[in-house]
Amino acid sequence: MAKEFKVEPLKVWNDFKKYREQYYRDYLEAKDNGAVRWAGSAWAFDAVPAGLGEDVYPLTGEPYGATVAFFKDFSRRALEKAERAGVPRDLCGYLRNYWGSIMMDKYVLTDGTEVEPFPKPDFNYTIHICCTHAKWYHRAGELEGDVPTYAVDISVGPGYLLDDRKINYVVRQLEDSIKWMEQITGREYDDELLIKAVLAEADSMSTWAKICKLNQNIPAPLEEKSMFTLYALLVLHRADPRVAELYNKLYEETQDRVKRGIGAINNEQFRFLTDNPPPWAFLNVYRYLEKEYGAVSLGSVYTFGLEGAWLGMDEKGETWRWEPAPTPEEAGVEISNREDALRWTAEFNLRYRPGWQHPYSHKIRKIETLQMIKDWKADAMIMHLNRGCELWAMSELEVRDYLVKHNIPVATYEGNMADPREFDEARTWNVIDSFMESLGIKKLSKQ
């Protein structure tokens, strides 16, 4: 029989939901008040546009694409609109939802409300690490009527191989981008706002890592489906001090849950990890595993590593450290001017974001994943072979092979994070049932 744990709802849950809801509305309504709005990747250097003023509102494309995917009908219309315009359906799922929205001239809010027209940004601002990001916003800009677009090239390699020359390459681009933003918006850049944003960014990202680490406890105080909602603020606007504050509240509450033995689910008997963005329209995969098997998803290199700041690979490139990276305060670094701030944000992101490390070699991702399995005391890996993102799909099968060789049970199911048409629900349940049966895990109802 599965052991019973106490469960209780998260007190901060509604704060996170409200922030997200308001975020999309703020972007939509920004122009009513003469504010600035920019669009770009969730991996963009979020802190940099903050120097344009207190009234600067971003729209990050990947979470928007995921939100669209959640509303299956809207998503289908957006995807088909894009396809009719000649957009190949094997491109990034988020991108196709985003371009499709622009082409339909419809914007969807978190409650599913559809608004016209699609709100046009003053500029697009992104990074480029996979084959898609810069080109995504370039084309979006063309579709919207030559919206100025700037992409920061961050292709300098993994954090443990960083040197000053590589950091300088990124910093110089960030400096240029500030001049560019000033020209476009006609605003004078405020370095104090930049510094404040850079500090908030580091706080948000490191605090999220601390929260994820608490899931090493048994019972796990959080489960991944809820963490998708919780981590979302990092991909929306992590450099917003209000976001940092929310993560600090969540950290306190999660610590308290651990202290009191509060679990994410009341019958945790099986702990597993995942490793890719989920099929957003089918998050019931997670609930199925919880309800049927008492299986808790602890997290993933995706959920922890997309926006969390971790020490990562050691200098020799041999050992992965799932330890939260230090904030400027914890590192004893004072940030007092633009150069300091840009250098900090460049180095912090390049060095400590797992999502910016493992695309440079599957050796990194193998070591990183195996270490996660050990540290979080996971019994298995359930992989989403995600056709919607080529970056996250990279090395995935190599990791699978590596884990199997290390006697870690691995199940795989196919899908697409952002194209609901590419998911076979019944088949996925079959994969899960067969996998659990092979491991001798009985359904709770059969115990």
Give least dist CB 115 to another protein, A: 25
Give helix 164-185 / helix 338-352 axis angle, nearest 10°: 120
Residue whose CB is less far from another protein, 333 or 394: 394
- Residue 188 beta carbon to another protein: minimum distance, rounded to whole angstroms: 18
Least Å distance between CB 94 and another protein?
13
DSSP lists the bridge partners of residue 300 as 274
Nearer to another protein, 180 or 429 (CB): 180
Q: Smallest gap, in angstroms, from Cβ of residue 398 to another protein?
A: 6
Instruction: Count Cα neighbours of 61 within 13 Å in the Cβ-side half-sphere.
Output: 33
Q: Closer CB to another protein, residue 65 or residue 219?
A: 65
DSSP state of 40: E
145 Cβ contact list (under 8 Å, min separation 6): 120
Please identify, using beta-carbon distances, which residue of 248 and 412 lies nearer to another protein.
Answer: 412
Task: Name the residue nearer to another protein (CB basis): 127 or 199.
Answer: 127
Do 332 and 256 form a contact (C-beta atoms < 8 A)? no
How many other CB atoms sit within 10 Å of the CB of residue 185?
18
Beta strands in 206-319 (DSSP E): 262-263, 270-274, 295-300, 310-313
Supply the minimum distance, in Å, between the C-beta of residue 79 and another protein: 15
**Between 217 and 395, whose beta carbon lies closer to another protein?**
395
Give me the numbers of helices (H) and strands (E) for the chain, helices first please. 17, 14
CA distances 43 to 35, 39, 235, 378, 415, Å, are 22, 11, 7, 28, 23
CB-wise, 25 or 89, nearer to another protein? 89
- Which own/partner pairs from 255-261 qualify as long-range (CB within 8 Å, at least 24 positions apart)? 255/214, 257/8, 257/214, 257/221, 258/214, 258/217, 258/221, 260/6, 261/5, 261/6, 261/219
- State the residues that interact with another protein by CB under 8 A: 85-88, 90-92, 128-132, 134-136, 138-139, 141-142, 146, 148-153, 155-157, 165-166, 169, 172-173, 176-177, 179-180, 359-363, 385, 387, 390-391, 393-398, 401
Least distance (Å) between residue 343 CB and another protein: 15
User: From the CB of 366, what's the least distance to another protein, in Å?
Assistant: 10
